[in-house]
Amino acid sequence: MKVSVVVPVYYNEPSLPALHQQFSDIAARLSDLEFEFIFVDDGSGDNSFGVLKEIAARDERVKIVKLVRNFGSNIAILAGFAHARGDCAVVITADLQDPPELIPELIARWRAGWKVVLAARAKRHDPFIARLWAGLFNRLYKRLVFSNFPADGFDLFLADRRVMDVLVKNAGPNLYLFGLLLWTGYKFDTVTFTRRERPFGKSRWTFSKKVKYFTDAFVGFSYLPLRLASIAGLVLAILGFGYAIFIIIARIVTGFPIEGWASLMVVVLLVTGTQLVLLGILGEYLWRNLDETRRRPLYLIDQMVGFE
């Protein structure tokens, strides 16, 4: 049996030698299995590709897919799946925050019959703001989209060959791969671990990327934003009609003076602001529909190393 290890790489030059060494140690312990290590360089601006080529020159199990530009980690993982030849694939980040030592346990669960095995975070040693953002996202996603989503999220997981093929076939632009993985409906097993502090470099996880990630995850797998928009519009309409009736009755019955530039502007700004928000939500869905119909390739490959 063959196991593919897929690693999205983005500005991870310092951690790659240590990561490869840990992969080699694991492969030596699991000598009854054949391994391939697929590193997908997602448009790194450092010397990650150069380091990977040096590693590949020493280890024929190492394969490299270099993308033309940064397409995002989800697309990079998908590119790795598309070129993996294993009976299963383990996905792990390149920054060494997720421990490679879990790989044998994931493989053991797969050998026991599970098609998907998730490594769920029980605790994480990240900055407070990062933990706050991640906690908000993960709990909302679990409550509003997939009830079986791990409460503290996951990046490290194993997928069987059958599951990999489904993911590659059904992926589209603005991909949230972890949601698509749960969408497939395959039963999964879970192992837990503590996410480490980042030992090398700094995170490239910018605020704008977090916002896109959040939007793709919810818009791609839930109609809840549209339902909330409809409810908000209905509530505002009811309040508006009710207030209009109140004003008319007050004017006719009591002669209540109709005054107030300030109150009028408050109502106008509230209603128009809400309308713009609702249009924005609708626009997010329409944009994804347009992006899907264009049928552009999800990624472009610059170079490949180690493949036949």
**Which sequence spans correspond to the domains of the chain?**
2-222+297-305, 224-293
Q: Strand locations in 266-307, DSSP E?
A: 301-305
Question: What tokens does 65 get?
Answer: 């897919």
Per-residue pLDDT for 9 more than 90? yes
Name, in order, each residue with C-beta under 8 angstroms of 87's C-beta and a sequence gap of 6 or more.
1, 2, 3, 160, 161
Residue 20 CB: number of other CB atoms within 10 A? 24
150: pLDDT confidence band, cut at 50, 70 and 90? Answer: confident
Give the CA angle between residues 242, 243, 246 to the nearest 5°: 90
Sign of CA dihedral 153, 157, 160, 164: positive
Q: How far apart are CA 289 and CA 294, in angstroms?
A: 9
The proportion of the chain whose per-residue pLDDT surpasses 70, expressed as a percent, equals 93
Residues in Cβ contact with 98 at an 8 Å cutoff, skipping those fewer than 6 apart: 92, 119, 155, 156, 193, 195, 196
- Read off the pTM: 0.80
Q: The tokens of 20 are what? A: 């490869």
CATH superfamily of 2-222+297-305: Spore Coat Polysaccharide Biosynthesis Protein SpsA; Chain A (3.90.550.10)
Under the banding of pLDDT at 50, 70 and 90, the label for residue 156 is very high
- Of the spans 92-101, 116-125, 223-232, which averages the highest pLDDT? 92-101
